[in-house]
A and B are shown apart, each in its own frame.
Chain A
């Protein structure tokens, strides 16, 4: 058996009264690809940050090559040959690739030529491609990530830690990354990859280490693992991985979108001639690689986007009354028209909730202005907060605890709870289960199904194709801001969905 590159012994790390890691003992073997698996908040990133010198353990020891070391800062980590690529890139935007690689390396500017040569050498060796003189602000997400990895290799890392590298990549880019990782392994490097996508774990890793609630559970050989066994270890109990899809008979047209075109702040067209219809009593899934217009589509309906003239979004209220045009109206105007539209945006704390406020104050975010008088009504939101907390089992020290201090799953429950409590006719959710653990995800699916059964039109933007295929009645696929197809959720195949996500088969460009 290969020897241990890094051994952790009884490592504990606390933040205030929260234990992020408790008594973790594990080893990372030389020359392996180790996947670190766990639900969000299980302490994967904290644990790796201690190896990278970002945090210092409160208790326990770290051994590198069998010797006890104290990693006080990232410099110590590099000196030991440990390099980490963080989930949020740490690059200087206005610097070129080569400058970024040299920053903090203690070299003078004069060594640029040498650095450039070394970058090229690294690229050839592992199969990267990067232009050393390209500025970071001109780079795509995947290029930035490549640069981060090169930076780590340039500094002589033997042990690489990649924190959720695939979260921002398309499937093709992920494949490329995995190829590079295999090359690195062949070269004798040790790679640790943090992820919570099980199929990736199964395809790339040699061994899987599982963390749950800050504690080390087990480490298994990937060959002997399956999706079910890994889930069970991750969650701590058997999870029924089936999602219900009840059928609703009576459906009514609720929202009609026609000719929607939209540019983002950078002047790029993000929605092209989008047409679709949304019915009550259905869940319409929206599939697509992240950043293909999903955000803008939902925001257009919610009145938060400026769209090109000629578009039309008609809301047909229940009861067969006349439709209402939503384009050109602000969120408040839309609400005042009696349109019961609930929206769970992708950016929970940056848009859906106020992170610094408590649960009860967030409950009144959308209807604080209801009622006469200049004072806010505090009683109702408090009652609502208490109700949401009970019904959705939100874990919080108190209704006034700032919601940003809650875990991701609880933050999402607060947001979804508020939006559902508003008794919507249309419910839009963007990545409703992103970052949620399996239990919380299934709670959300169930809530969405309940809404659908009560006649709500649900728009579900998702990223997990399997979930989309199991949960949704119909699936609209967005590719490059265009509708590349609307499929029946009951009969569609995953391959078909994946193909439509990357190619628009119908030339729908006419008129743009």
Chain B
């Protein structure tokens, strides 16, 4: 038995908060962003000697400095939120869909396939066909893990994750098949001459359609999750499968239905990535967005409007950070670091929203 040495009251201990009013919650989050920027500034200056304000201005210009840059940031934001919208119902059901990356890719593959093989169709017909096919492909990719889970209770995290690799291999296969020009090992821009299957240009940008589509989806998802019977079932299954069974909910069916929907929306964002943005297909078409969107969905707690905001933040960071990498002579890692620090602070501040530190003398420390 060790000897007890009397010591003082612990310096800091944590107590759970009741719940924080919305105002203070926003303040805490803003403070955490400012703190993150301060930490970044100190680091940037300490390591490179560059004026951090210049770096931040360059970042802002990189993301919003010109019309085309704004559109590029908006495009990134829309692709990200579209996937996050797709993930929201699955995560709300506590079904760990880590497979968005793959669902996006297969959506992209069939979109590209339609563009290549059906380019005789008029655009007005081709686009709906592409939408339908990408939705079906994504839904199928979401369905398989759900079926396994519903039937044999397999682990959906592993199943969805592994389906990603299948999708990546499939993409490689089709890239090799559709290679153009021969030997380039890329598909190249599809239908560059006649722009068949491309989104039409509205308000000076092809991305306008993406914006409309994603905003529409996010409104619909908000209503679906909050006001419909399906949404209620998803919440109950997510809270407790036993309760769901008790309430007479067919848990397997809800699981399958929700994953069909989740996969379908992810597939649709694959369609947007190909037909609306890159007009080509490669293994990097999803570009890790399927994973980043997981962060978006969880940080927003599945609220559609918040998901848009967080996507905007991440898109801004990505484009802005890319700019400082080239403009300020910092390499890519510098921007990754800034993103990392910011996310750390944003996620970390949730802790202070839920807990309150109490210091030794019993004085309560307010917000942060």
Contact = CB atoms under 8 A, between A and B. Distances in A.
B10 interface: yes
A56 B9 contact: yes
Chain A interface residue number, banded: 35 or more
A490 interface: no
Interface string A57-85: 01100000001111010011011110000
Contacts of B8: 70
Interface string B1-21: 111111111100101111100
Contacts of A349: 240
A350 B16 contact: no
A365 B229 contact: no
B227 A376 contact: yes
Interface in A337-376: 343, 345, 347, 349-357, 361, 364-366, 368-369, 374-376
Interface in A100-158: 106, 155-156
Nearest to A374: B228
A16 B18 contact: yes
Which of B19, B227, B245 has the most chain A CB atoms inside 10 A of its CB? B245
A238 interface: no
B157 interface: no
B257 interface: no
A335 interface: yes
B94 to A, nearest CB: 11
A79 B247 CA distance: 49
Interface stretch (B46-54, B179-187, B231-239): B231-239
Interface in B304-343: none
Contact of B1 (A70, A79, A352, A369): A79
A375 B239 contact: no
Contacts of A302: 246
A356 B248 contact: no
A75 B4 CA distance: 9
Given A79-B3, A156-B1, A331 B248 contact: yes
B89 to A, nearest CB: 14
A332 interface: yes
B250 interface: yes
A224 interface: no
A15 B18 CA distance: 8
A304 interface: yes
A330 interface: yes
Contacts of B278: none
Interface string A36-70: 00000000000000000000101100000001111
A58 B245 CA distance: 42
A380 to B, nearest CB: 14
B8 to A, nearest CB: 6
Interface string B236-265: 100110110111111000000000000000
B240 A351 contact: yes
A363 to B, nearest CB: 12
Contacts of B362: 58-59
B232 A347 contact: no
A17 B356 CA distance: 12
A364 to B, nearest CB: 7
Interface in B62-100: none
B235 A56 contact: no
A365 B227 contact: no
B206 interface: no
B248 A366 contact: yes
Contacts of B227: 375-376
Contacts of B245: 304, 331
Contacts of B9: 56, 70, 72
Contact of A351 (B13, B246, B248, B249): B246
B307 to A, nearest CB: 20
B235 A354 contact: yes
Contact of A78 (B1, B15, B17, B246): B1
B232 A376 contact: yes
Contacts of A352: 243, 246
A335 B242 contact: no
B25 interface: no
Contacts of A67: 6
A69 B10 contact: no
A494 interface: no
B329 to A, nearest CB: 50
A279 B322 CA distance: 76
A499 interface: no
Contacts of B236: 354, 365
Contacts of A331: 245-248
B230 interface: yes
B229 A354 contact: no
A295 B312 CA distance: 51
A349 B19 CA distance: 21
B248 A332 contact: yes
A115 to B, nearest CB: 14
Contacts of A59: 362
B15 A14 contact: yes
B10 A72 contact: yes
A397 to B, nearest CB: 10
Interface in A373-390: 374-376
Contacts of A374: 228-230
B247 A56 contact: no
Contacts of B16: 15-16
B250 A330 contact: yes
A368 to B, nearest CB: 5
Nearest to A404: B239
A345 B246 contact: yes
A70 to B, nearest CB: 5
A185 to B, nearest CB: 21
B2 to A, nearest CB: 5
A343 B246 contact: yes
B246 A369 contact: no
Nearest to B8: A70
Interface string B213-231: 0000000000000011111
A16 B17 contact: yes
Nearest to A334: B248
A376 B247 contact: no
Contacts of A58: 15, 358, 362
B229 A350 contact: no
B199 to A, nearest CB: 30
B239 A356 contact: yes
Contacts of A376: 227-229, 231-232
Given A79-B5, A343-B246, 12 more contacts: A14-B15, A16-B16, A56-B9, A68-B6, A76-B4, A304-B246, A350-B242, A353-B243, A355-B239, A368-B247, A374-B230, A376-B231
For the complex of A and B, list the 10 residue pairs with the smallest distance between their C-beta atoms, beginning with the closest: A332-B248, A16-B18, A79-B4, A156-B1, A331-B248, A354-B239, A351-B242, A365-B247, A374-B228, A351-B246
Interface of B: 1-10, 13, 15-19, 227-233, 235-236, 239-240, 242-243, 245-250, 358, 362
Interface of A: 14-17, 56, 58-59, 67-70, 72, 75-76, 78-81, 106, 155-156, 302, 304, 330-332, 335, 343, 345, 347, 349-357, 361, 364-366, 368-369, 374-376
26 contacts: A16-B15, A56-B9, A56-B10, A58-B358, A58-B362, A68-B6, A70-B6, A72-B7, A81-B1, A156-B1, A330-B250, A331-B246, A331-B248, A350-B242, A350-B243, A352-B243, A353-B243, A354-B236, A355-B240, A356-B239, A364-B232, A368-B229, A368-B247, A369-B229, A374-B230, A376-B232
